[in-house]
Amino acid sequence: MVALTLGLTIYKVPSMKETTFPYRSDGSEDPDVLLAAADAAKGRIRSDTPKEWKVFVLWGIWVLVFVPPFDFVDGRIWGPIVWSASLAGGVATMAYFVLRARRLHWARQTTWRNWLAVFVVYVLIMVMAGVLQGHFRFAWTAAAVLAAIPFFVTGLVVRTREERDVAP
């Protein structure tokens, strides 16, 4: 009797991963379910794709926050702070893209030419600010505003492009 009871209760336990998929796979799914399944998978991939435009906007904000204080604070004090912040930002930016690329190669890869162009413009403006700082009271503040514009404009362009790609 005990053996019979055991025999009735012993059955194959499917693995967790075999059972967690929410849809039937017998080929008879409802069209609504099929559409939802495909859209859910697509949506998950898109949500994991890096949002490059946000990174551009964050760097624009970074420029507006860290460059203007050169007009008010001694460069020997503020300089190392800016270098540290830019190093941390650079590492974070690289990590953001590189870590995601380990599992997902997004349809439109990061356009490093855009980054290079914006960075070159930024460096030129900073060099000009350094030259003009003795002549103008707010040279660094003006330079920050000028240098931030390419970051924001590029971010806006990239965002428009990303939204266009997502549209069905």
- Residue whose pair of structure tokens reads 């967690």 in the numeric block: 20
Q: Is 134 in the site for other proteins (CB under 8 A)?
A: no
- Identity of the residue, 30 or 153, whose beta carbon is nearer to other proteins in the bound complex: 30
Identity of the residue numbered 127 = V
Q: How far apart are CA 121 and CA 58, in angstroms?
A: 17
Number of Cβ atoms within 10 Å of the Cβ of 119: 15
Applying CB under 8 A, the span of 43-51, 72-80, 113-121, 154-162 interacting with other proteins comes to 43-51
Q: Is 40 in the site for other proteins (CB under 8 A)?
A: yes
Applying CB under 8 A, the span of 23-31, 63-71, 115-123, 133-141 interacting with other proteins comes to 23-31
Applying CB under 8 A, the span of 29-37, 62-70, 111-119, 144-152 interacting with other proteins comes to 29-37
Q: Tally the C-alpha atoms within 13 A of residue 122's C-alpha that lie toward its C-beta.
A: 21
- Identity of the residue, 107 or 123, whose beta carbon is nearer to other proteins in the bound complex: 107
Q: How far apart are CA 34 and CA 29, in angstroms?
A: 6
Q: Is 29 in the site for other proteins (CB under 8 A)?
A: yes
| Least distance in angstroms from the C-beta of 112 to other proteins | 16
Are 106 and 120 in contact by the 8 Å Cβ rule? The answer is no
- Identity of the residue, 50 or 155, whose beta carbon is nearer to other proteins in the bound complex: 50
Token pair of 29, please?
């799914």
Torsion angle, alpha carbons of 103, 107, 113, 114, to 10: -100
Residues that bind other proteins (CB under 8 A): 15, 17-18, 20-25, 27, 29, 31-35, 37-42, 44-46, 49, 102-107, 109
